[in-house]
């Protein structure tokens, strides 16, 4: 039987997504085996990530400076914005190494049954970017599930009056799948096959 403090640590690990009770216990026992300096470094990293990281005011991705590294990179094509649901999707696109535009993170997708309405998403700043920046194309790179398609249609309706090119990634990503888990070749094919909306 675990002590109260060990049990508490197991409970904390168990709250993380994809961590079951057995894995949580294994992680907690691993912490017990670590040197105190390593535990302090681990705890400091957790604390720093909550204190230092914020949302980029332009695109909504995570950053530690005034702008994220991608928005601040003048070598990128700021006239092409790839709209994604989550910051994790950016990691998948960047791994591919072919996309040179910028991103916009919605922080979710329209899902009324879960209480996620358009006003809860990072849509207003996207419209401001399109209105104020010299944007030529918006790529809708949302997961191809019902909520993703609903969100894409909603954004298409809002963006049409700007007279810019609106595309969405091709269905190289399987219906019901997640960009986060797709390999680079699949994402590359989906990006190449994007279609006008």
Supply the mean pLDDT for the chain. Answer: 90
H or E segment to which residue 25 belongs: helix 21-33
Q: What is the pTM of this model?
A: 0.77
Could you tell me which CATH class the domain 4-52 is placed in? mainly alpha
User: Which of 114, 184, 130, 196 has its CA nearest to residue 162?
Assistant: 130
Measured at the CA of 124, the angle between CA 137 and CA 59, to 5 degrees, comes to 60
Select the more confidently predicted residue: 119 or 175: 119
Mean predicted confidence (pLDDT) in 175-184: 76
- Strands 101-105 and 77-84 turn out to be parallel
- Ranges 4-18, 38-52, 72-86, 176-190: which has the least confidence: 176-190
- Confirm whether 4-52 and 73-196 share one CATH topology: no
What does the alpha-carbon distance between residue 128 and residue 140 come to, in Å, rounded to a whole number? 16
Fold of 73-196: Dna Topoisomerase Vi A Subunit; Chain: A, domain 2 (3.40.1360)
pLDDT in tens, 73-91: 999 999 999 999 999 999 9
What does the alpha-carbon distance between residue 154 and residue 156 come to, in Å, rounded to a whole number? 5
pLDDT in tens, 112-169: 888 999 999 999 999 999 999 999 999 999 988 889 989 999 999 999 999 999 998 8
Select the more confidently predicted residue: 89 or 176: 89
* Residue ranges covered by each domain of the chain: 4-52, 73-196
What pLDDT shows up at residue 190?
76
């Amino acid at each position: 039987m675990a002590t109260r403090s060990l049990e508490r640590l197991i409970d904390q690990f168990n709250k993380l997504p994809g961590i079951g009770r057995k894995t949580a216990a294994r992680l907690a026992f691993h912490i017990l085996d670590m040197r105190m300096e390593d535990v302090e470094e681990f705890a400091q990293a957790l604390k720093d990530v909550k204190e230092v990281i914020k949302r980029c005011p332009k695109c909504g991705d995570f950053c530690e400076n005034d702008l994220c590294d991608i928005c601040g990179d003048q070598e990128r094509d700021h006239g092409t914005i790839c709209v994604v649901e989550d910051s994790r999707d950016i990691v998948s696109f960047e791994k591919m190494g072919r996309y040179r535009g910028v991103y916009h993170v919605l922080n979710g997708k329209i899902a009324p049954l879960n209480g996620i309405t358009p006003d809860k998403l990072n849509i207003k700043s996207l419209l401001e970017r399109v209105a104020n920046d010299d944007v030529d194309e918006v790529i809708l790179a949302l997961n191809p599930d019902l909520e993703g398609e609903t969100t894409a249609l909603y954004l298409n309706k809002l963006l049409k009056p700007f007279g810019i090119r609106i595309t969405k990634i091709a269905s190289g990503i399987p219906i019901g799948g997640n960009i986060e888990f797709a390999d680079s070749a699949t994402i590359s094919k989906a990006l190449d096959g994007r279609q006008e909306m």
